[in-house]
Structure 1
């Protein structure tokens, strides 16, 4: 008799589906606000926000890819779009000539300042409004170890690339 496949109990399954639904609804609302206010994708906003939050206004491309959990090629494409709009600039890293650094421009800072109030409004209204301050703290306390556990694996940008068959 073969072993039965692993399963989730009803509480786990309910928590999983709730998390997926909340995440999907929140992301949809955030993406809509970012498109309407700044003509930005969610990933582009994440990149600008991470750069804007950095004391230097810059990050290495690899660190950005790890931070936003995005592939290297996908990040290169998104940064190219932002660079074309004058929102970021790329340059060789002063610490490692093999690395590329992305820096936020003044136009990038202005766009971030334009979209951020609406972003905060959406997040507050949808995610935090129905919760008490203690609930928000409990949510943060619950999610942090899950995030840390998931981040303990090598970052996506460090994963080995698959070779195409016949190459």
Structure 2
């Protein structure tokens, strides 16, 4: 697997066979898990995986969050998040309003119906996660995987969040 950067035309060092195999195994496992979770969430709550991430973050976080914090937390585009938040608000699962300490920020709050929906779909979500991800692992494997994925996530998150990236200008 080789790659080039758009602003640097030098070829990138290809991945070693073991790295490439690990990459493909990770991507396939994530896709399989996400597909099963998505099916469970649709069947039990009529919500998408992204919608569940937003609701769960609000349900298990410190309280209301800004749209920017939500977008960064679930790694989703601003426009995509605005659309998903609109659907959730229309369904009565969240409310949006101005943040009291920042006129430019929009604060998202989970409603009682949103909290009830998370409580209803969470047991099935946990079951799918346990069955597919954790059942084949030992306790030691879980610790190692957690350590590795935390290190990888922290490395990826060391860059500025996507919401802090400048918006591309539309061509006239």
Indicate the TM-score class for this superposition, using the shorter chain for normalisation. Answer: over 0.9
Q: What is the Cα deviation at residue 55 of structure 1?
A: 3.2
Q: Which stretches of structure 1, 4 residues or more, deviate above 6 A after TM superposition?
A: none
Q: What is the Cα deviation at residue 4 of structure 1?
A: 6.5
Deviations 1:5-44 (A, max 9, x none): 5111111011101100100000000001000110111110
Deviations 1:92-144 (A, max 9, x none): 10121111100000000111011000000000000000001110000001111
| Unaligned 5+ runs, structure 2 | 1-9
Larger relative contact order (CA 8 Å, sep ≥ 6) = 1
1:159 is the counterpart of 2:129: no
1:114 is the counterpart of 2:120: yes
Q: 1:4 and 1:102, CA in 2 relative to 1: closer, same or farther beyond 3 A?
A: closer
1:23 is the counterpart of 2:23: no
1:48 is the counterpart of 2:24: no
Deviations 1:64-96 (A, max 9, x none): 000000111111110000000000001110121
Describe how 1:65-104 pairs up with structure 2 within 5 A. Answer: 65-104=71-110
Which TM-score applies when normalising by structure 1?
A: 0.94
- Give RMSD over aligned pairs: 1.1
Which TM-score applies when normalising by structure 2?
A: 0.92
Q: 1:105 and 1:4, CA in 2 relative to 1: closer, same or farther beyond 3 A?
A: closer
> 1:55 and 1:137 mapped to 2: Cα distance?
26
